[in-house]
């Protein structure tokens, strides 16, 4: 499902605020990593997802370990092996149901025939046989929202082995390595607002009356 529908796909991209890029880690040679760079400056909130490199960042965008419960994705791009992509699609259908699925974009090589058959039968919007970066470039697309990278939040285990947690506000807009200690949670303000992760819910519970989440995050740091 692609070329005959490209005006509709272009419309989805223009109005989308967030693009989750599964497989985007710290290796600069990998296409998923380069996709974050290529989409930078076009107005989308690009969200890299990579379990091994979680807690690091690409261009100031924190790498999440997974799509957390509570997060509502608009576009999910797969830079994954077909079997792994199949597993993620199954998880998404359970979480969101067939009627509320995001746009699924399978980068060349990530497609699984069983998944595509299921998506076609269910009428779920999905893209195959094209690269999202090339599609964006070919149609000169930008998001309507003009999102800019913002400070993000990181909670890790302390280095002294005390079992305590360390919360920080990260302001660098550069690429940075994963933390040397165990990652407990990371995300930006929208993640902090939406995520049902234990850490995010606990942090939200600490807000004072009329205190915004960014203000709360700075106070805790």
Rounded CA separation 216/146 (Å): 25
CA dist 133 and 39 (Å) reads: 7
Listed by start position, the domains of the chain span 3-138, 152-220
Topology, domain 3-138: Rossmann fold (3.40.50)
Q: With the C-alpha atoms ordered 127, 132, 137, 142, is the resulting torsion angle positive or negative?
A: positive
pTM of the model as a whole? 0.94
pLDDT, tens digit, 9 for 90 and up, residues 10-55: 999 999 999 999 999 999 999 999 999 999 999 999 999 999 999 9
Close Cβ partners of 94 (under 8 Å, ≥ 6 residues apart): none
Distance separating alpha carbons of residues 95 and 72, to the nearest angstrom: 10
Distance set, CA 92 to CA 106, 110, 174 (Å):
14, 16, 31
């Amino acid at each position: 499902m692609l070329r005959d529908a490209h005006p509709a796909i272009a419309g989805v991209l223009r109005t989308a605020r967030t693009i989750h890029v599964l497989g985007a880690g710290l290796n600069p040679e990998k296409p998923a990593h380069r996709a974050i760079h290529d989409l930078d400056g076009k107005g989308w909130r690009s969200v890299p997802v990579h379990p091994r490199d979680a807690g690091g960042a690409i261009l100031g965008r924190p790498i999440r370990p997974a799509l957390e419960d509570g997060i509502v994705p608009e576009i999910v791009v797969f830079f994954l092996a077909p079997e792994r992509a199949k597993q993620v699609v199954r998880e998404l259908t359970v979480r969101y149901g067939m009627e509320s699925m995001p746009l699924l974009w399978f980068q060349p090589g990530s497609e699984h025939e069983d998944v595509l058959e299921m998506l076609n039968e269910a009428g779920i919007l999905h893209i195959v046989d094209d690269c999202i970066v090339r599609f964006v470039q070919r149609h000169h697309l930008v998001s309507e929202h003009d999102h800019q990278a913002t400070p993000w939040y990181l909670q890790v285990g302390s280095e002294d082995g005390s079992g305590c947690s360390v919360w920080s506000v990260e302001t660098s807009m550069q690429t940075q390595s994963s933390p040397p200690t165990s990652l407990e949670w990371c995300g930006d303000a929208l993640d902090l607002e939406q995520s049902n992760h234990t850490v995010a819910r606990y942090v939200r519970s600490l807000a004072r009356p009329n205190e915004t989440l960014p203000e709360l995050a700075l106070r805790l740091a």
